[in-house]
């Protein structure tokens, strides 16, 4: 929450120049294509699809002529999943469980190209840009260690946080309603990795935080 408040304060001056303010609601579907995700898939009931979750965002746009926009967006995603070990259980048959948790707060800058201009009944656009991704990954609960030699059950809490640079591409549609509003739909693919901290095995590769953001929203034009 502290991170979000700081970002919002930094973006407040930009509102003075905004010609379009958009509120977006939708979902995030992670790629989860790195070994820390694969370990959970192999050893527990975890599935990558479990991490699909809701996403909300706010965006401000500056019009650069008829065919271009410059946009800044801040968003929020959070998901936690309770998983069970698939190979081991407690002597009384109780499952060995832990939680997998991910939170990301993207701060993105984008250029959009509107090939037909913005004076249309339906306004398509494509674009891309860069962003800083504030993230928090956690696993906490009960775990099996030395699972292939002398299995042992432990209780632990493991966390890694970071801020990493990523890039994205997107396409979308705006449908104007009168002169001052539009409804929007957008698909955005983000590519970003983050280095895991000391709580995790140092042999792990960077965690894959990439994925697809699918949103719908409403814009207010000034």
pLDDT tens digits, residue range 162-202?
999 999 999 999 999 987 899 999 999 999 999 999 999 99
pLDDT at position 1: 55
Task: Provide the H-helix boundaries in the chain.
Answer: 2-11, 35-43
Query: For residue range 20-71, what is the model confidence (pLDDT) as tens digits?
Result: 899 999 999 999 999 999 999 999 999 999 999 999 999 999 999 899 999 9
The whole-model pTM stands at 0.89
Half-sphere exposure of 30 (CA within 13 A, CB side): 24
* Separation between Cα atoms, residue 182 and residue 121, nearest integer Å: 10
Q: Give the position of tokens 């995030």.
A: 28
Query: For residue range 120-140, what is the model confidence (pLDDT) as tens digits?
Result: 999 999 999 999 999 999 999
Q: Give the range among 3-7, 72-76, 114-118, 209-213 with minimum mean pLDDT.
A: 3-7
* pLDDT at 14 exceeding the cut of 90: no
Write out the CATH class of domain 2-9+28-221.
Answer: mainly beta
């Amino acid at each position: 929450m502290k991170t979000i408040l700081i970002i919002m304060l930094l973006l407040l001056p930009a509102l003075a120049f905004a010609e379009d303010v958009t509120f977006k609601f939708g979902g995030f579907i992670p790629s989860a294509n790195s070994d820390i995700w694969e370990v959970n898939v192999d050893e527990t009931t975890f599935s990558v699809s479990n991490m699909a979750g809701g996403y909300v965002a706010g965006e401000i746009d500056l019009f650069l002529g008829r065919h271009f926009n410059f946009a800044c967006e801040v968003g929020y995603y959070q998901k936690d999943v309770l998983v069970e070990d698939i190979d081991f259980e407690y002597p009384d048959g109780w499952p060995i469980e832990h939680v997998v948790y991910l939170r990301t707060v993207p701060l993105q800058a984008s250029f959009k190209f509107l090939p037909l201009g913005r004076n249309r009944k339906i306004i398509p656009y494509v674009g891309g840009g860069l962003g800083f991704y504030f993230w928090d990954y956690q696993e906490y609960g009960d775990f099996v260690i030395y699972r292939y030699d002398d299995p042992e059950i432990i209780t632990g809490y493991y966390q890694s946080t970071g801020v990493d640079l990523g890039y994205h591409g997107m396409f979308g549609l705006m449908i104007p309603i009168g002169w001052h509003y539009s409804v929007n739909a957008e698909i955005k693919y983000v590519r970003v990795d983050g280095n895991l901290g000391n709580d995790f095995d140092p042999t792990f590769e960077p965690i894959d935080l990439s994925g697809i953001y699918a949103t719908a929203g409403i814009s207010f034009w000034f």
